[in-house]
Amino acid sequence: MSRAHYTLKHLRYLVSVADKGSITAAAQGLRVSQPSLSIAIGQLEDRFGVTLFVRHQARGLALTPAGRRLVAAARNLLKEAERFDHFALELSDEVVGTAEIGCILTLAPVVMPALMAGFTAAHPKAELNCHERDHLGLIEELHGGALELAVMFDLGIPGSIAFAPLMACPVYALVPPGHALAKRAAVSIAELADEPMILLDLPHSAEYFRQVFWSSGRSPRVAYRTQSPEMARSMVANGLGYTLFNTPFRNDRAVDGRAVRRLAIVDDVPPLMAGVAMLRDHKLPRIAEVARAHLMAATATGGEGQAPLKGQLPAGAGAA
C-alpha cells in the first residue's frame, strides 16, 4: 500500500501543534477543525512511520525525539518555501501577494483602514492583512514571524526590533462636555489627579499613563479600567470620569453618539512616537517593503483627500 502524500500545509499544521502543545489551540489559531488537524498529523506519522507526539494528561501533547527532529526540519523547509515564494513573486514588476501587518489596537482604526484602501487601489493584485494586537502581542508575533511589520508606539521596544518613527502623539485628556474643566483649552496633571480616571489598561499603556502622573509627583485616582479605547471614550462621554489618550482621533463623538472634549496637557510630558517596527537586519519581502513605504508616505500626507496625520494633536484644545 502506498504511503500518504504530504504538502506544505501538513508541515504548517505540524509546526503549529508543536508550538501550541495542543490540537485544540492549534486548530483555533489556524482556523481549521480539530479532526482535520488530527488527520493531517496522522497522515504524517503514516508517511514517515514514526510517532510524532505523546499525550500527557496534565501537559497536553509533547514531541517525541523523532517528532522534535521532524519539526526542526519542517521549520527549515517552510522558511525555504517562503523564500522561494518571495523570489518568484519579485520576478514580476507587479506587487502581488499578501503582507501581514500588525497594528496596536488603539491606533488601528485611525491608521489602517485608509492605508489598506489606498494600498489596494495602487496595487490591485496585492493584499494587506491587518492584525490588531496589544503591544506585547505585536512584539511576540514579529519575533515569531507571524507579522512582517507592526505599527506601534515606542514603548519597551527590544533591541532586536528596528523602529522608524511616523508621527508624534502627545498625551491629552478627554472629559465629558458637562465637566467643570470642559470649557478649558488645557489642563494640568495636578488638576486631574483627584478626578475619577478611566484607565486604558493595556500592556505598557497603563504604565505609561501612570508615569505621566508620577513624573508630576501625583498619582491617578483610577475609578474604572478597560482594554477598549472606544469603551473608554464612551465611559467619558457618559460622565463616568476622564481618561488620557495619545491616539489622534479625528472626531468629537464616542461610538454611542455622545460628545467628548479634548484638553491639552500643559505639563512637560514627552509625546509617544508612533512608528513602523520590523525585525532588525531582516530583509522584507517586496510586498512588505512596498507596504512600509506606502505607510510612511500615507502617514505624512494623510492619503488622497485626507489631512496629514502628523500634527493632528496641537498644543491647543480641540474636539477629540
**Residues 19, 22: Cα–Cα separation, whole Å:** 8
Give the amino acid at 113: P
Nearest to 108 by CA among 235, 202, 213, 223: 202
Domain ranges of the chain: 8-89, 97-168+272-301, 171-265
Point out the least confidently predicted range of 179-188, 218-227, 279-288.
279-288
In CATH terms, 8-89 corresponds, of 3.30.9.30, 1.10.1040.10, 2.60.120.380, 1.10.10.10, to 1.10.10.10
Strand partners, 275: 152, 165
Task: Output the pLDDT for position 231.
Answer: 96
Task: Output the pLDDT for position 89.
Answer: 64
What would the pLDDT profile of 66-85 be if each residue is shown by its tens digit? Answer: 999 999 999 999 888 877 87
Helix 108-122 / helix 286-301 crossing angle, nearest 10 deg: 120
Cβ neighbours, 10 Å, residue 271 = 15
Confidence band of 296 (pLDDT split at 50, 70, 90) = confident
Mean pLDDT of 188-208: 93
CA dist list (Å): 103 to 153, 185, 206, 276, 308: 10, 31, 18, 9, 19
Q: 312 pLDDT exceeds 60?
A: no
Which three cell numbers mark 244? 488620557
**Residues 168, 257: Cα–Cα separation, whole Å:** 28
Task: Output the pLDDT for position 303.
Answer: 40
**Residues 147, 163: Cα–Cα separation, whole Å:** 14
CATH number of 171-265: 3.40.190.10
Task: Output the pLDDT for position 309.
Answer: 47
Q: Identical fold at 97-168+272-301 and 171-265?
A: yes
Query: Which fold would CATH assign to domain 97-168+272-301?
Result: D-Maltodextrin-Binding Protein; domain 2 (3.40.190)
